[in-house]
């Protein structure tokens, strides 16, 4: 089984002060023990590392990037042109909501890969019809 890993999931896993830290850690452990692997969109990786760089430090961001790039539990998925075009359609579709372009790109990647579950604490994924950790 493959599960998409969103930015909010990454933050919850890495920040012990995050309110979702324990839930995310328990979910990760359970899923890994069941044989699951996690898919990380390149867009999510950029969003996460940029956030760590700006909010914590460049050193911490470098460490996090190295850990992610060398993880045996994560597959980093590139963004295709088709993903990009679909993301723009979703972004325009949700014009009455604050769903950002990064999430829309994640939706497109998940659909292309046939993924229906995300480790995220972002309700935008639920709005689009995916199963999320709660």
Q: Is the pLDDT of residue 5 over 70?
A: yes
Quick one: average pLDDT of 1-15? 95
pLDDT at 105: 98
Long-range contacts of 59-65 (CB under 8 A, 24+ apart): 64/14
Arithmetic mean of pLDDT, 78-88: 97
CATH superfamily entry for domain 2-132: 5'-nuclease (3.40.50.1010)
pLDDT of 118 over the 90 cut? yes
Contact 77, 42 (CB under 8 A): yes
What is the rounded average pLDDT of the residues 85-95? 97
For residue range 48-61, list pLDDT tens digits in order.
999 999 999 999 99
Terminal CA-CA length for the chain: 19
Q: Whole-model pTM?
A: 0.94
What is the spatial distance between Cα 133 and Cα 116, in angstroms, rounded to a whole number? 12
Q: What's the confidence (pLDDT) of residue 133?
A: 84
- Over residues 88-110, mean pLDDT: 96
User: Domain segments of the chain: what residues?
Assistant: 2-132
For residue 134, the model assigns a pLDDT of: 67
Q: Are 89 and 83 in contact (CB under 8 A)?
A: no
């Amino acid at each position: 089984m493959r599960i998409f890993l969103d930015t909010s999931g990454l933050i919850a896993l890495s920040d012990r002060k995050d309110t979702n830290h324990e839930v995310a850690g328990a979910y990760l452990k359970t899923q890994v023990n069941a044989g699951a692997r996690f898919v990380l969109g390149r867009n999510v990786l950029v969003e996460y590392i940029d956030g760590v760089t700006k909010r914590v430090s460049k050193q911490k961001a470098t460490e996090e990037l190295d850990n992610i790039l060398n993880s045996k539990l994560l597959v980093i998925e590139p963004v295709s042109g088709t993903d990009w075009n679909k993301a723009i359609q979703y972004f325009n579709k949700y014009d009455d909501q604050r769903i950002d372009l990064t999430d829309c790109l994640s939706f497109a990647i998940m659909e292309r890969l046939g993924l229906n579950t995300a480790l995220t604490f972002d309700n935008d994924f639920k709005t689009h019809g995916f199963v999320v950790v709660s």
